Amino acid sequence: MKPPVDPATASAVIPATARREGTSVSAPSTMPVTRAMFDRLMVPCYAPASFVPVRGEGSRVWDQQGRMYIDFASGVAVTALGHCHPAMVRALEEQARTLWHVSNWFTNEPALRLAQRLVDATFADRVFFCNSGAEANEAALKLARRYAHDRHGERKVRVISTLNAFHGRTLFTVTAGGQAKYSSGFGPSPAGITHIPYNDVGALEAAFREEGGDDVCAVILEPMQGEGGMTPGTPAFLQAARRLCTEHRALLILDEIQSGMGRTGALFSYMQKGIVPDILTSAKGLGGGFPIGAMLTTDEIAGVFSVGVHGTTYGGNPLACAVAGAVFDLINTTEVLDGVKARHALFMEGLKAINARRRVFRDLRGEGVWLGCELDEPWRGKAFAVMQAASDAGLLVLMAGPDVVRLAPSLVISLDEILEGLARLETALNRVLVKD
């Protein structure tokens, strides 16, 4: 039979190289770049540091000038296994040679394998994959609204969230997050969201009593508020949220985007809080640096989403899921999770010793390798200055609001790197926290 297209004509139009290796365009991968280009080229949403990181290995990062930084930031709690972990590189390379993307018109093996691991290890029966934390929370909030609508009627729409929360930057999630500075000027915002003070059981009870409590479809909480100041949820508050949700047929959404994937010494933080959520969201450490988000829930709740009601082109992308599978297999081991608890003790010991010498911290708190160092009275508002001084001293740290220096190193950071990083932190504190 004659082929539908004459191969001779076809190869003249589409040379084999274009199909197999790609045409060689003048891709300037070696074009010299400088930090100044950021200010010229990028939408000005960020104010990145004055240097440009170019390479990472474990808990060390190098900039364009070859200067080395100890990484206590992990790209905001993302690179949970450090930079370029060999198992992640292997998973990515293997998948890069196998299959990159097929869309959700097809399923794929890495996504199914990752979903099975998450279901086996948690309360959940079902998983929805997406690309970021905000998208995971967006899916969770939409699912809670749809569940209440389908099961309990159109009036049950209210979401209770907390002041100072952070749940992402889509319009729904930024409105659910209780920080006006991120949502103002973008209105009209989605309606039906009530904010109460975090850890205030009385306010939570009162919020449920409004309208007889029948209109609440969900409570959304971080087990510890990360961006909002590294404030741990009290057991009483987290347990009250669980109890009130059950009593009022509302869903408890736990945002474990920052607290999950081993950061607190458990696979997910809820596992050591005596509560089980109805919906859990994960991202950040899930991909260890490759963008992926996930929403986990039960069979019963997932059942209100049917084909076409929600989705995203890249959700469950094979590259992301293959990397996340490798991350999961490394993190979900006693060795790594117990190691996180051991590292917590080392960090606390080191930070307390610095504080005994310098008296700069009012409080040292956190869980696992997720630590908040709250600056004492004369240094209030100086967390950003500490962050800058730290990078001058060769250390990457984070802030959580103006008063809290936040540390979120790799879960497997070495003892030497912890000690070297703490020494550099003390140098930075000595430089910046001087009395006028």
Nearest approach in angstroms of CB 228 to ligand PLP is: 9
Closest separation in Å from C-beta 77 to ligand PLP: 7
Stretch that binds ligand PLP, among 80-88, 163-171, 326-334, 415-423 (CB under 6 A): 163-171
In which element (H, E) is residue 221 found? strand 216-221
Residues 69-128 that bind ligand PLP (CB under 6 A): 76
Min dist CB 333 to ligand PLP, Å, is 24
Give the nearer residue to ligand PLP in terms of CB position, either 257 or 354.
257
Using the contact rule CB under 6 A, the part of the chain among 109-117, 160-168, 189-197, 272-280 near ligand PLP is 160-168
Contact 368, 340 (CB under 8 A): yes
Among the residue ranges 121-129, 207-215, 220-228, 327-335, the one whose residues contact ligand PLP (CB under 6 A): 220-228
Stretch that binds ligand PLP, among 16-24, 129-137, 387-395, 400-408 (CB under 6 A): 129-137
Report the nearest approach of ligand PLP to the CB of residue 233 (Å): 12
- What six digits make up the tokens of 248? 């009022």
138 is a contact residue toward ligand PLP (CB under 6 A): no
For ligand PLP, which residue of 83, 167, 263, 343 counts as binding (CB under 6 A)?
167
Binder among 226, 229, 260, 421 for ligand PLP (CB under 6 A): 226
- Residue 353 CA, chain-centre distance (Å), reads 30
**Nearest Cα to 260, choosing from 251, 252, 271?**
271
Q: CA-CA distance, 74 to 151, in Å (whole number)?
A: 41
Instruction: Return the number of the residue (226 or 421) whose C-beta is nearest ligand PLP.
Output: 226
Among 63, 222, 374, 403, binds ligand PLP (CB under 6 A): 222
Left if phi > 0, otherwise alpha if psi is -120 to 50, otherwise beta: which for 203? Answer: alpha
Choose among 347, 435, 429: nearest CA to 389.
429
Least distance in angstroms from the C-beta of 371 to ligand PLP: 15
Distance from CA of residue 8 to its chain's centroid?
Answer: 52
Q: Could you give the CA distance from residue 368 to residue 269 in angstroms, rounded to a whole number? A: 10
- Report angle CA 402, 407, 408 to the nearest 5 degrees: 125
- Closer CB to ligand PLP, 131 or 391, in the complex: 131
Q: Which of residues 256-285 bind ligand PLP (CB under 6 A)?
A: 257-258, 283
Which SS3 state, helix, strand or coil, does residue 341 take? helix
Q: Which stretch binds ligand PLP (CB under 6 A): 161-169, 300-308, 407-415, 427-435?
A: 161-169
Which segment (45-53, 252-260, 302-310, 400-408) binds ligand PLP by CB under 6 A?
Answer: 252-260
How many residues belong to the site for ligand PLP (CB under 6 A)? 15
Residue choice 75, 110, 133, 229 for contact with ligand PLP (CB under 6 A): 133
**Mask: binding to ligand PLP, 17-56, rule CB under 6 A, as x and -?**
----------------------------------------
Q: Which two tokens stand for residue 74?
A: 């992990």
Backbone angles phi, psi at 63, to 5 degrees: -100, -175
Q: What's the CA gap between 317 and 291, in Å, rounded?
A: 10
Torsion-angle region of residue 324: left (phi > 0), alpha (psi -120 to 50) or beta?
alpha
Closest distance to ligand PLP from the beta carbon of 52 (Å): 21
- Alpha carbon distance 129, 115 (integer Å): 9
Which tokens go with 265?
């010494």
Q: Which of residues 294-323 bind ligand PLP (CB under 6 A)?
A: none
**Which whole-number Å values give the CA distances from 297 to 37, 237, 336, 396, in the listed order?**
43, 22, 25, 35
The single residue among 110, 168, 229, 262 that binds ligand PLP, judged by CB under 6 A, is: 168
Do 224 and 230 touch, CB atoms closer than 8 A? yes
Return the bridge partners of 70, or none: 60, 395
Radius of gyration of the chain (CA): 24
Helix spans in 256-395 (H): 299-302, 318-331, 334-358, 383-392
Q: Which residue is nearest to ligand PLP (CB)?
A: 133
**From 46-54, 91-99, 254-262, 294-302, span contacting ligand PLP (CB under 6 A):** 254-262
What CA–CA distance (Å, rounded) separates 357 from 380?
18
- How many CB atoms neighbour CB 234 within 10 A? 14
Task: Name which position in 138, 255, 417, 426 contacts ligand PLP (CB under 6 A).
Answer: 255
Q: Which stretch binds ligand PLP (CB under 6 A): 190-198, 250-258, 373-381, 419-427?
A: 250-258
Note the residues at the interface with ligand PLP (CB under 6 A). Answer: 76, 132-134, 137, 166-168, 222, 226-227, 255, 257-258, 283
